[in-house]
Structures are given as structure tokens and as C-alpha cells.
Amino acid sequence: MMCQGVIQVNAALAMVGAVSLSDPSNPTTRVMDVLKFLAAHPTERFTLAEIARHVGLSNGSAHRLLTTMAAGQFLSRHEKHRTYSLGLSLVAIGQAAIAGHQGIEIARRELARLAAELDMQCSANCLADEEIVVLVKEGRPQSHLGLTRVGERRPLMPPVGLCHVAWGEQTLIDDYIGKARPFMAASVLDHLRDALPLIRARGYAVCANGPGAAASRQVLVTASDQVRDDAYWTRVHELIGQLSADEIQLVDLARAEEAGVSYMAAPVFSPAATVAFQLVVTGLPTDLDPRKIEACAQRLCAAAAVVTAEMHGRHPAG
């Protein structure tokens, strides 16, 4: 029956607040979309027309939007080339946001320590509106693939964001699995479902490397430069279908020796006992033996625990 799916979707929407549903063209959303788009490309500059295309605006609307934002220094405008990028006001606002979330600075400190100890790439990301947003990055700057650049956004789809999902609300879990279902073999889907309790029990998530993970990375990274059109989503969905069980969650750490570990993640909890953000370690050597991996994971969890503690977070009861 199709009914169940519909009910789930409605529940999720009611949960979120139904704003995105009833407002097909919310002006607030457009402002945020412009900022999100520009934040995903911090070093580039875009013309009015480019931005209009990327966020789906008419030139006329984009013109007033960008002019207004530039007037307030939310965007900085390069007069010569008529291009826009994030403005200085956002620097101030970003600093203020950090001041309001003590966890961020603590996380940065711990991630830097972690990156130095393990000589790996460490980052933190949070969940924003069905997307994963990179908040902090420490360690070897700008990996060869430019994989995780602060401000970048990726859709919440396997195999990323598992910590957000594993400790998230039931509706989020249902949504996550629901989005993956059409593209996964039944056995792999079951593996994904079973992975969540395991992640909760272990306290961290670990994904194996492999052709699916690599291809997925490739697409997601290169795709961050382009519009998320139907072709993009088709590719993403195809890639999800190609993921192996180990690439979704590595149950048996011994199997890591085959292809290595793609990433490990551990959650940081907020005072409200929800996942504030997750700490991620990537760029692990491929020749790590299970013992080393276990040690890395424990070190990562320790860092996450420190951050949780210092920001007065609480581990959810269950």
C-alpha cells in the first residue's frame, strides 16, 4: 500500500513546521539560499545572472535581492566585474554565532588536537534542513579533493550524516531510510536499518572505503559546483544504490583491511540531549589494522565526549 509512505511524509512535514510546504516561494528562503550558495563557494565570485540561475530566481528579483544585501554588506560587490560574494557583515554575524555556541570553539580546539595526534583530516558538521553543513575543519588544509570545505553542503543521504540520524528523532530516521529505500537493494537497506542501533551502541559510526564510497565522494564534491537539478539527483540515487553494506556501516572492523576506512564520526550532544553536530575524521591511511582503527575511534569518541561535556551537553537517555 502506498498509504504508509504518505502518512510518514505528512508526519515529517508537520514535525518541521510545514513552512517549506505551504510557502512555495518564501522570500526568507531566497535570502538563505543565496547565502548558502555563496557559502558553498567561498573563494569564487558570481554575477547576478549566475546567482539567479543557481537559486532559481528571475533576474529582476535577484537584482533587488542582491542590491539590498550588498547595501547591508551581507554581500560584497566587486564593482568592476559586477560580481558578488559573501560580505563583511557575515563575518561579524558568524563570529557572533560562534560566541553563542560555545561548543564550536571547543570543537575546533579538540579537532585541532585530534588532527595533530592522528595526522588526519578532522571536521565538524551539523544538520540544516535536510542537509549536512560543514562547520569547522582542522588538519591538513584543503585535501586533494577539496572534500570538506567549511560552508559546503551535502544532501543527507547514505553514507553521510549517520550520527545525526542514529541519534535523531524517529521521523528523521524514517525520512532517511525512506529516501534511501527506492534506490537500495532490500538486503542493503536492512543493513542500513540495523546499523543505527549498532552506531548508538558503539558510540560512533564508521564507513568502509570502496568503489561506491569513492564514486559517491566524487559526485558529491564535483556536484557542489553545480545546480542540483534532476540529473544530479539521479546520479546521487544511482550511487546510493551502488553502496556496499560495509560502505554504509562497517560492522566487522577486521574487514577494514580490505579497502580501508572512508570516515569515522561521533556525535556531540547539546544540553537538550540532541545531536548538536558530529565530529568527523577522514583521510585515514588505507593500511590501518583493526586495532588502530578501534584506537582512532576511541580517540574520536573521547574528543566528542570532551566537547559534549564542556558545552554541558547530555547524552540521550535511551
Partner DNA sequence: TCCCGTTATTCCAATAATGGAACGACACTG
Partner DNA sequence: CAGTGTCGTTCCATTATTGGAATAACGGGA
Q: Under the rule (CB under 7 A), what is the footprint of DNA?
A: 23-28, 30, 47-50, 57-65, 67, 80-83
- How far does CA 225 lie from the centroid of its chain? 16
Report whether 162 contacts 265 (CB < 8 A): yes
Round to whole Å and give the CA distance between 32 and 149. Answer: 19
Shortest Å distance, C-beta 96 to a copy of itself: 3
Give yes or no for residue 21 binding a copy of itself (CB under 8 A).
no
* Binding residues with a copy of itself: total (CB under 8 A): 63
Shortest Å distance, C-beta 165 to DNA: 24
Give yes or no for residue 79 binding a copy of itself (CB under 8 A).
yes
The nearer residue to a copy of itself, 97 or 185, going by C-beta atoms, is 97
Q: Which does 16 bind (CB under 5 to 8 A by kind): DNA, a copy of itself, none?
A: a copy of itself
Interacting span for a copy of itself (CB under 8 A) from 79-87, 177-185, 191-199, 299-307: 79-87
Region for 134 from its dihedrals, namely left if φ exceeds 0, alpha if ψ lies in -120 to 50, beta otherwise: beta
Q: Which does 101 bind (CB under 5 to 8 A by kind): DNA, a copy of itself, none?
A: a copy of itself
Give yes or no for residue 95 binding a copy of itself (CB under 8 A).
yes
Interface residue with a copy of itself, options 8, 47, 89, 143 (CB under 8 A): 89
Q: Which does 58 bind (CB under 5 to 8 A by kind): a copy of itself, DNA, none?
A: DNA
* Residue in the block written with cell 544511482: 238
The dihedrals phi and psi of 152, each to the nearest 5 degrees, come to -65, 155
Give yes or no for residue 127 binding a copy of itself (CB under 8 A).
yes
The nearer residue to DNA, 63 or 292, going by C-beta atoms, is 63
Report whether 263 contacts 303 (CB < 8 A): no
Residue 185: its H or E element: none
Nearest to 236 by CA among 213, 214, 220, 212: 220
Sign of CA dihedral 108, 114, 118, 123: negative
The nearer residue to DNA, 79 or 287, going by C-beta atoms, is 79
Shortest Å distance, C-beta 11 to DNA: 15
In this structure, the number of other CB atoms found within 10 A of the CB of residue 44 comes to: 11
Q: Which does 47 bind (CB under 5 to 8 A by kind): DNA, a copy of itself, none?
A: DNA
Give yes or no for residue 97 binding a copy of itself (CB under 8 A).
yes
Give yes or no for residue 36 binding a copy of itself (CB under 8 A).
yes
Give yes or no for residue 32 binding a copy of itself (CB under 8 A).
yes
Report whether 246 contacts 191 (CB < 8 A): no
Q: What is residue 133's three-state secondary structure? A: strand
Give start and end residues of each alpha helix (H) in the chain: 3-16, 19-22, 27-39, 48-55, 59-71, 88-100, 102-118, 162-166, 170-180, 186-202, 211-223, 230-242, 245-248, 256-259, 290-310
Q: Which does 57 bind (CB under 5 to 8 A by kind): DNA, a copy of itself, none?
A: DNA
* DSSP letter for each residue of 40-88: TSTT--EEHHHHHHHHT--HHHHHHHHHHHHHTTSEEEETTTTEEEE-H
Q: Which does 91 bind (CB under 5 to 8 A by kind): a copy of itself, DNA, none?
A: a copy of itself
Q: Write out the residues near a copy of itself by the rule CB under 8 A.
A: 16-17, 19-20, 23, 26-29, 31-32, 35-36, 38-40, 42-43, 64-65, 67-69, 71-74, 76, 78-80, 85-101, 104, 126-129, 133-136, 149-151, 272, 276-277
